[in-house]
Structures are given as C-alpha cells and as structure tokens.
Amino acid sequence: MRLLGEIAGKRILELGCGSAPCARWLAGQGAHPVGLDLSMGMLSRGLAAMEQGGPGVPLIQAGAEDLPFADECFDLACSAFGAVPFVADSARVMREVARVLRPGGRWVFAVNHPMRWIFRDDPGPDGLEAVLPYFDRTPYTEFDGDGRCTYVEHHRTIGDRVREIVGAGLVLDDIVEPDWPEWLDREWGQWSPLRGQLFPGTAIFVSHKPE
Ligand SMILES: C[S@@+](CC[C@H](N)C(=O)[O-])C[C@H]1O[C@@H](n2cnc3c(N)ncnc32)[C@H](O)[C@@H]1O
C-alpha cells in the first residue's frame, strides 16, 4: 500500500479483492476503493465482514480481463495476489487497467515471485529442490473427482510480466522483491524462514500510466 503513494481521497480499483481486506483497509484510510472479484463466494465473505462494522466498499463481480468501468475513472489500481496469476491472458488485464486509470495513475500488483514456480510449494527442505523449468508456461491445474477443473494458475517469467506491462503502454517504475523479515519465524503454507532467507517469495510490480 505504501507503494501506491497518497491514497486519501483517491479512487482506487482493487483487482481480485477476494473478501476485500485490502479495499476495506483503504476505505479506512480515507480512500474511495472499489473491489472487483470473479468469485461471488469471496465477495459474499467481504459483504459479511462489512456487516460486522467498518467502512462500506462497493464490490463488483466481474473478470479482470473485461473491466466494467469507463476509461480513466480511477486514480490508482492495486492487487494483492489477486486475478493476475489466474487469467490466461494477463497482458489483457494490463491493457484493461491502463484503460481505466487516469493519466499519471499508479498500478501496483503483487504476485508470487516467478522463481517460486520451479520449486514445490513446501516450506521445508523439499521446497529447496528445483523441479520445474522456469521457462515452462504450462499452467498448474487441479481437478475434482468428476474431472472438473477447480484451480488454474499461470506462470509468467519476470520478462513476460515486464513485456505485458510495457506493452499496455504503462511505465514500469520498480519490481520490489521484499526480504524475509528477520523477526518472522512462522511457517504457513509454502512460506518459511528456510526458503524466505534464500530467495524471494513475492514480486511487486510498480507501474504508472504516462501523463
Ligand atoms: C489469492 S486470492 C487473493 C484475494 C485478496 N486479494 C486477498 O489479499 O485476500 C485471489 C483472488 O483472485 C480472484 N480471481 C481469480 N481470477 C479472477 C479474474 N479473472 N478476475 C477477477 N478476480 C479473479 C479469486 O476469486 C480470488 O478471490
């Protein structure tokens, strides 16, 4: 959120907001966020959370590939691990964000760091062995017992992400690769000090639309 710059009073689009913890936090800071997600299940959780108190945030059910907004109607856009890795055509998402941002507006999004792709999602020593080629863009998929696809995640290299951002007419300002904090000794999911001290878990792309 620090990378978004001044947020108070700004119209902010959050892509893949899930239950909208980020959008709700932004509203609490005086911003005017809109949360967008494909999943009504996740948005319903956001609505339920808002019923418990705190600022209300408009939530929109839609895909990030076709944003249901007018051109240049947001000052800022952000995403915390939402939407971008889950669409086949993430270049299109970049173009859509560029369209709805006003000139000068920032677009900041966080994804799992692309180099994580080559390792198993294991916080222990097994997660230190490279098992997949970094260059293989075949999506990761999961299926239920009836053969229905229940999860798809798409891999892009750092270069792919840079080309998609620049190809949308945006200016790439930074790629932030946060260090594992020294004080953090907790393990959860694929995250652990063992892996986090050796290579980055997150890549945050910071870009803006030219004036
Ligand atoms: C890992 S969750 C992150 C949720 C939220 N940003 C957070 O930090 O709690 C990813 C979210 O992206 C959403 N998503 C996946 N594909 C999407 C798409 N094509 N358009 C919009 N949202 C999508 C999912 O429904 C899910 O809520």
pLDDT in tens, 72-105: 999 999 999 999 999 999 999 999 999 999 999 9
Helices (H), the chain: 21-28, 40-51, 90-100, 158-167, 193-196
Residue 47 pLDDT: 97
Q: Which helix (H) or strand (E) holds 14?
A: strand 11-15
Pocket test residue of 60, 86, 96, 112 for ligand 1, highest count of atoms within 8 A of CB: 86
Instruction: Examine the pLDDT at 187 and tell me if it is beyond 90.
Output: yes
Residue 42 pLDDT: 98
Alpha carbon of 37 to ligand 1 centroid (Å): 6
Q: What is the mean pLDDT of residues 91-120?
A: 97
Closest CA to 76 of 57, 103, 56: 103
Q: What is the mean pLDDT of residues 39-50?
A: 97
151: confidence class by pLDDT, cuts 50, 70, 90: very high
Q: What is the mean pLDDT of residues 106-112?
A: 98
CA 169 to chain centre: 19
Alpha carbon of 63 to ligand 1 centroid (Å): 9
- Is residue 46 lining ligand 1, measured as CB closer than 6 Å? no
Residue 1 pLDDT: 87
Q: What is the mean pLDDT of residues 24-48?
A: 97
Residue 110 pLDDT: 98
Alpha carbon of 135 to ligand 1 centroid (Å): 24
- Is residue 168 lining ligand 1, measured as CB closer than 6 Å? no
Residue 121 pLDDT: 93
Average pLDDT over the chain, rounded to whole?
A: 97
pTM, 2 dp: 0.96
With 0-12 / 13-18 / 19 or more C-beta atoms within 10 angstroms meaning exposed / middle / buried, residue 56 is: exposed
Residue 173 pLDDT: 98
135: confidence class by pLDDT, cuts 50, 70, 90: very high
Q: What is the mean pLDDT of residues 13-18?
A: 98
Instruction: Examine the pLDDT at 109 and tell me if it is beyond 90.
Output: yes
| CB 182 within 8 Å of CB 113 | no
Alpha carbon of 140 to ligand 1 centroid (Å): 16
